[in-house]
Every structure is written in C-alpha cells, then in structure tokens.
C-alpha cells in the first residue's frame, strides 16, 4: 500500500491511497442523477440464426452466417475500444445441439454475457478462417428448423435477469434471413409475439438485423417480425434487408450503442410550463484510453482511496472537520463546506427560454466549444414530445433560433445557448441520417470577445490572386471528417489488437492525412509552377526551405563548438594539448586508442581520460 501526500489546503493535507480491489469499477457518470436519469452499463445480446438457409450463398459471396459472424467480431472489437465496461453475449439458435441453463432445445449460448476480450474474438475468427465452415458447423452444432423463438427470447431474458450488476440498457440484435420462421405453426407464432411483448415491457429492446435471402428473394418484415418489434413513434419504417457487410455493419452500429444522456433536465418555456429533455454529446474527440494501475504482486486493478490528514496530529479527518477561508482586508474569512457549495450554486439545473432570434444572427465567430443536442424525454415530464415537436416545427418554419439560459448540473456556472433546429433526414433504405431536435450552440459572453490588431502586410496583386484561385479550384474536394482516420489512434489500437490476439505483427496503417503528391501534381502541377513564378523569387527552392537566421553577436550565451566528423583527418594529440577532446566524436576517440594499442571501453569521458593518460597530460 502506497500513500501519496499532496499540498495542504487551509491547514489540512490530503493523501491518496491505491489499494487492490476484487470488484470491477463501475462507470461513474459526471454530475448528479436528475429526474429519470439512469446509470449503469450497456448489455448487448447478439442472436444469430443458424438454420441451413443461413449457410446458402449466391456465387462467390459470403454466406449470411459468415456475414453475421464477421459483423459480431467487429462489434466486439468496437466495444473493447469504445466502451470496454459494457457486457456482450452471443447466442446461436436453430442448431441441432443446445446449451443453456433452461435446457431449451435448439438454443446454444456460445458466449455468455461478459466483458469483451481477446479469446472471444479468436473464437469468432476460427469460424471465418474455416475453409469448410458449412460441414464443420453441421458436425459441431448441427442445423434445425424446429426451434421456438419464444424459447430463444426466454433464454435471453434469463441471461439479463441473472446479471449481478446494474444494467442501464438491455438490447437484443437478431440476425436472420428468414422472414417467416414459424409459417407452419400458429401456436409458435403466438408464443413468440407474447414473449416479445414481455421483453418490451421489461425494458429489453429487440432489434431486427435482417439479411437479404439468397436468390434475390425479398425479405418481407410484415409477414412475421413486424408484430415482434415495438418501435418508437419516431423510428419510422423498417429499412430494407442488408445485402453487404457494410450495410449490415452500419445498421448494427446505429443500434448497438445506447443513446446515453449527459443530463436529463427541464426546459422552461414559460412560468409553469416545462418540457423534459435529454442532452446528448454528438461529437467528442477520440483519445487513447488512460492507463490502469495494477498491483505488481497480484496483477489486480488498483482502486483509488483518498484520506485527509491533519498536519499537526496526523489523524484522519472527516469532510466536516475541514474549513475553507478567503483573505479579505488582511483577515481570514472562514467558511464551511456547505457554505462554499451554496455559494457555487447559482440555480437549479435546467434551461430557461429567454427569447427568439433570426438564424442569421448566430455568427460563426461565436463558436466556443462543440455543440450538444437535445431531444424530448417522456421520463422527465409526460407529454414533452408533443410540445417539443410543435416548438421544433415552428422554429423550422420561421427560420429562428431560441436563446436559453443553460445550467447543466448543480454548482455549474450558467451559460447562454442558442437552440438551432434540425429536421430529420433518412437515406434510401430508411436508415436515419440525422435525428430531429435542437443543437445547443454555446454563446460567449461579451467579456469573452476581444478585438484583434492585425498588422499591415504586403498586398497580393490581382494576377497572383487569380493564380491562387486557379490552384484552389483544381485541388478542391468534398471534405468529410469520417473519411480521415487518426493515424496515431489507428496504430495504437491495432498494436494492442495484435498483442491481444497474438498476431505476428500489427496491420499496416494507411495514413490518410498525408498529401497525395502524385494526384496534386497531375491536377495542378502547371498551375503550382505558375503560382511559384508569380509569387516567389527566381532562385527560391521550396524543398530546401529558407535560410536559417544567424544569431547576432549581442545574443546571450557562448557560441557552440562544431564537432569534428568521423571521416576527417584529425590530429587528436593537438586536441588533447588544447584540452578540447570533448569536441571529438566517440568513433574518432576509439580509433585513436586502437592505433596506440590501448583498450577501448567505457563512456566518452573514460576515453578522454585514457588518451590524456597515454599522452601524460594531467
């Protein structure tokens, strides 16, 4: 046990103790738990249909089963990187063999609900690397169309119920290419629909990840699965079946991550009239995960514990024993912790509508930090969706923004935000591209704006400006941030993946941030040469760069001595007499010692001492 003691605060000192803990540290949400706020981990179950139809392929394409397994592997990799505390499991149904606590037939739990790790990914890679997957799978697991989806849902419900941790979101992703699995049994259809309704009432979301059947047959959701899916009013129509891996993965990514709120707070429209809204973070910088402290003896994760110690007695202090003070008029004004917290509290968390402004009044230079997004939440206040929708439609129709005072959490400073309306957008397959709601754009206070003094510089001529415009037109393209991956993060995570999966080496990184010199030369080579002749002097060489500025004689510090290179004919004895051997390189010193028959070992100073000893120089 190691204790780190920090600086004293108002006469008290504090220390941090790291101790090993057997329990996993649950994710702690920032701020307080507001009305309707849910904390905990995400739990995701992947259901994969393993009937014989899932192993039929059209030509040389992947079978639907291989498509699902590759998608499940990608989900596991993404979970490890984005939210490694969440739980994920994989259940196969439609198999001849079974493995589940309830002993249901044709239901095989391949991976129980647990944290994603390398062995689980390796298990899925074995399926993908098997050249004769259809025969080996039939031998190990078998196929059967005599399964019951009700039993499958029962198994999933029991897996969620047996969790020992608190689950914030529970969801099931069902992969299949059969639109009517119980066409011959009305009883099984009724049981499956009843159990799907029970899942919805228990807060377990069921999502259909349907795949295009072989032969070009259309997957008709309305035949059976439409009665199993209890979609929200704003989700719109079910998209078409996926035929490619990219289409399936896009749909899975949109469903696997729960829409976690930063806060759930009220939006006050008028005195006595409030809307419940959830605040979401739409864009966040991707960073390397922080390191984890481990106990060197047991390799267990360490848990932080903080203790407050008295400087005089060394006794442990409770929070109520500490005081805070502020110097005023030469005296200490002492406060309790409760008084300090009360001074920090401006008002209750929430948003208060101040008024409306035309959208054109929101300037680009008002940007302070990335915007948030708000969406109605019925758990906070019933009936919020209708009033929120009416407000959104009128703001879109009149092209106005709403100005609000925003306090995100207790003890947070109030800020002004502009609620910028956004309408819903969907692609051709019905997948939502942008949700309806308001972007919260943070507006700076007047004291945060400053006037800049821009120095006068030389003005470009009209000919030079036209030449620059021609270059820009040739090199312009549609920019999308999703088209460029951070090479540093890609290398970091691929290296970790290679180590965890025991791969010989990490995959090569394609650095998309590097300029494509060949394409630039093809598209604008002559224009660039023309621009260089118009702007730069005739002897300018951009590849060599500008000449370095020479230090003036008045600059402080002694001039540095140039070191002699290894290939020069150096008189080492002359350097030794002038006591400047330190300016020579180590290879030159070693070569001289070898020529006089002395040992070559040690650091640079040892070599210098050996040369001085040989020449008799003190």
The domain that contains 414 carries what CATH number? Answer: 2.40.290.10
Our CA dihedral for 58, 62, 63, 68, rounded to 10 degrees, sits at -140
Range of lowest pLDDT (248-262, 276-290, 333-347):
248-262
Assess if residue 16 is contained within a domain.
Answer: no
Going by C-alpha positions, the residue among 29, 43, 28, 27 that lies closest to residue 281 is: 29
Comparing 111-125, 272-286, 557-571, the range with the smallest average pLDDT is: 557-571
Output the pLDDT for position 383: 86
Please tell me whether the overall predicted TM-score, pTM, comes out greater than 0.75 for this model: no
Q: Work out the pLDDT band at 313, boundaries 50, 70, 90.
A: confident
Helices of type H across 130-170: 133-140, 149-161
- Judge if 246 and 275 occupy the same domain: no
- What's the whole-number mean pLDDT along residues 571-597? 83
How far apart, in whole angstroms, are the C-alpha atoms of residue 47 and residue 27?
A: 26
Instruction: With beta carbons less than 8 A apart as the criterion, state whether 156 and 45 touch.
Output: yes
Burial class (CB in 10 A: 0-12, 13-18, 19+), 417: buried
Give the CATH number for residue 520: 1.10.1600.10
Q: In the predicted model, is pLDDT for residue 222 greater than 60?
A: yes
Backbone angles phi and psi of 186, in degrees to 5: -70, -30
Residue 543: which residues within 8 A CB-CB, separation 6 or more?
none
**Do 151 and 175 have their domain in common?**
yes
**Strand 302-310 with 425-426, pairing:** unpaired
Which of 535, 550, 583 is the C-terminal boundary of a domain? 535
| Range of lowest pLDDT (422-436, 493-507, 553-567) | 553-567
Tokens found for residue 61: 């394409």
Q: In the predicted model, what is the mean pLDDT of residues 453-480? A: 89
pLDDT tier at 544 (50, 70, 90 boundaries)? low
Q: What is the mean pLDDT of the chain?
A: 80
Give the pLDDT band of residue 388 (cuts 50, 70, 90). Answer: very high
Instruction: Note the pLDDT of residue 34.
Output: 41
**Alpha helices for 447-552 (secondary structure H):** 462-475, 487-500, 517-535
Q: Is residue 140 part of a domain?
A: yes
Q: Of 48-57, 180-189, 497-506, which range is least confident?
A: 497-506
Q: Are residues 178 and 235 in the same domain?
A: yes
Q: Examine the domain organization and report whether 419 and 364 are in the same domain.
A: yes
Mean pLDDT of 402-423: 91
Same domain, 443 and 505: no
pLDDT band at 547 (very low <50, low <70, confident <90, very high): very low
d(CA 35, CA 449): 36
The reply to whether 294 falls in a domain is no
Domain co-membership, 350 together with 475: no
- Locate all alpha helices (DSSP H) within 51-148, ordered by sequence: 64-82, 118-129, 133-140
Residue 365 near residue 405, CB atoms below 8 Å: no
More confident residue, 592 or 431: 592
Whether residues 176 and 218 fall in one domain: yes
Q: How confident is the model at residue 593 (pLDDT cuts 50, 70, 90)?
A: confident
> 110 in a domain, yes or no?
yes
| 525-537 mean pLDDT | 87
How far is the first Cα of the chain from the last one, in angstroms, to the nearest whole number?
Answer: 52
What pLDDT was estimated at residue 32? 38
Q: Find tokens 């943070």 and name the residue.
A: 442
246-255, 533-542, 564-573: range with highest mean pLDDT: 533-542
Residue 153 has pLDDT above 90, yes or no: yes
Contacts (Cβ under 8 Å, ≥6 apart) of 362:
401, 418, 420, 441, 443
Whether 66 is covered by a domain: the verdict is yes
141 domain-assigned: yes
Confidence at 571, pLDDT banded by 50, 70, 90: confident
Percent of the chain predicted with pLDDT > 90 = 25
- pLDDT above 70 covers a percentage of the chain that reads 84
- Statement to judge: residues 198 and 52 lie in one domain: yes
pLDDT higher than threshold 80 for residue 232: no
Beta strand 331-335 pairing with 372-376: unpaired
Q: Is the pLDDT of residue 259 over 70?
A: no
Q: Say if 177 falls within a structural domain.
A: yes
Q: Please give the pLDDT value at position 615.
A: 84
Range of the domain at 582: 572-615
Domain boundary among 407, 425, 448: 448
CATH for 106: 3.40.50.410
Same domain, 207 and 155: yes
Q: Which residues pair with 402 in a beta bridge?
A: 356, 419
CA–CA distance, 45 with 170 (Å, rounded to integer): 8
Q: Quickly state the pLDDT bin for 249 (edges 50, 70, 90).
A: confident
User: How many domains is the chain built from?
Assistant: 4
Going by C-alpha positions, the residue among 25, 497, 2, 4 that lies closest to residue 292 is 25
Q: Are residues 363 and 384 both part of a single domain?
A: yes
Shared-domain flag, residues 229 and 364: no
Residue bearing tokens 């864009």? 283
Confidence of residue 440 (pLDDT cuts 50, 70, 90): very high
Is there a contact between 85 and 131 (Cβ–Cβ < 8 Å)? no
How much is the average pLDDT of 20-47? 52
pLDDT of residue 602: 77
> Residue 13 has what pLDDT?
30
Q: How far apart are CA 349 and CA 414, in angstroms?
A: 9
Report whether pLDDT(356) > 70. yes
- Residue 570's pLDDT band (cuts 50, 70, 90): confident
Residues 485 and 598 grouped into a single domain: no
- Choose the weakest-confidence range: 201-215, 247-261, 443-457: 247-261
Higher pLDDT, 397 or 382: 397
- Are 57 and 103 in contact by the 8 Å Cβ rule? The answer is no
Q: Tell me whether residue 20 is in a domain.
A: no
What pLDDT, on the 0 to 100 scale, is given for residue 60? 60
- Is the pLDDT confidence value at 37 over 50? no
Domain endpoint, select from 479, 512, 535? 535
What pLDDT score does 517 carry? 87
């Amino acid at each position: 046990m190691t204790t780190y003691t920090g600086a004293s605060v108002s006469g008290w000192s504090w220390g941090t103790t790291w101790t090993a803990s057997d329990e996993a540290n649950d994710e702690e949400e920032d701020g307080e738990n507001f009305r309707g706020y849910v904390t905990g981990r995400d739990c995701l179950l992947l259901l994969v249909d393993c009937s014989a139809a899932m192993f039929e392929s059209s030509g040389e394409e992947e079978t639907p089963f291989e498509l699902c397994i590759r998608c499940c592997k990608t989900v596991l990799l993404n979970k490890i990187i984005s939210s490694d505390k969440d739980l994920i499991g994989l259940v196969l149904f439609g198999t001849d063999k079974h493995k589940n606590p309830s002993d249901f037939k044709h239901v095989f739990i391949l991976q129980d609900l647990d944290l994603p790790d390398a062995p689980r990914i390796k298990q899925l890679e074995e399926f993908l690397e098997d050249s004769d997957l259809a025969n080996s799978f039939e031998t190990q697991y078998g196929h059967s169309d005599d399964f019951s989806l009700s039993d499958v849902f029962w198994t999933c419900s029991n897996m969620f119920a047996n969790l020992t941790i608190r689950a914030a979101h529970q969801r099931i992703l069902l992969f299949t290419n059969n639109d009517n699995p119980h066409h011959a049994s009305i009883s099984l259809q009724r049981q499956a629909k009843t159990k799907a309704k029970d899942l919805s009432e228990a807060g377990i979301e069921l999502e259909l990840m349907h795949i295009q059947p072989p032969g070009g047959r259309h997957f008709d959701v309305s035949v059976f699965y439409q009665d199993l899916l209890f979609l929200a009013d704003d989700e719109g129509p079910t998209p078409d079946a996926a035929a490619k891996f990219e289409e399936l993965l896009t749909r899975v990514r949109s469903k696997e991550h729960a829409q976690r709120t930063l806060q759930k707070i009220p939006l006050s429209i008028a005195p006595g009239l409030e809307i419940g809204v959830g605040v979401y973070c739409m864009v966040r910088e991707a960073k390397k995960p922080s390191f984890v402290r481990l106990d060197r003896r047991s390799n267990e994760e360490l848990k932080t514990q903080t203790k407050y110690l008295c400087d005089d007695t060394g006794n442990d202090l409770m929070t109520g024993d500490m005081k805070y003070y502020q110097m005023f008029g030469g005296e200490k004004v002492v406060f309790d912790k409760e008084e300090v917290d009360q001074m920090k509290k401006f008002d209750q968390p929430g948003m208060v509508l101040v008024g409306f402004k035309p959208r054109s009044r929101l300037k680009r230079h008002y940007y302070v930090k990335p915007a948030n997004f708000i969406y109605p939440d019925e758990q906070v206040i019933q009936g919020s969706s209708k009033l929120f929708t009416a407000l959104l439609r009128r703001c879109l129709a009149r092209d106005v923004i709403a100005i609000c005072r925003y306090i995100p959490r207790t003890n947070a400073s109030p800020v002004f935000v502009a609620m910028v309306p956004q309408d819903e957008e969907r692609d051709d397959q019905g997948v939502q591209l942008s949700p309806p709601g308001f972007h919260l754009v943070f507006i700076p206070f007047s004291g945060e704006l400053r006037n800049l003094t821009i120095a006068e510089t030389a003005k470009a001529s009209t000919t030079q400006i036209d030449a620059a415009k021609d270059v820009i037109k040739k090199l312009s393209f549609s920019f999308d941030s999703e088209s460029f991956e951070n090479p540093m993060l890609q290398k970091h995570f691929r290296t970790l993946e290679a180590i965890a999966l025991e791969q010989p080496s990490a995959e090569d990184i394609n650095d998309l941030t590097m300029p494509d010199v060949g394409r630039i030369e093809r598209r604008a080579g002559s224009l660039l040469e023309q621009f260089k002749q118009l702007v730069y002097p005739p002897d300018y060489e951009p590849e060599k760069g500008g000449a370095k500025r020479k230090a003036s004689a008045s600059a402080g510090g002694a001039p540095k001595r140039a070191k002699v290179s290894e290939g020069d004919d150096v008189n080492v004895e002359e350097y030794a007499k002038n006591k400047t051997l330190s300016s020579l390189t180590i290879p030159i010193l070693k070569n001289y010692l070898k020529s006089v028959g002395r040992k070559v070992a040690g650091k640079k100073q040892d070599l210098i001492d050996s040369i001085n000893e040989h020449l008799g120089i003190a």
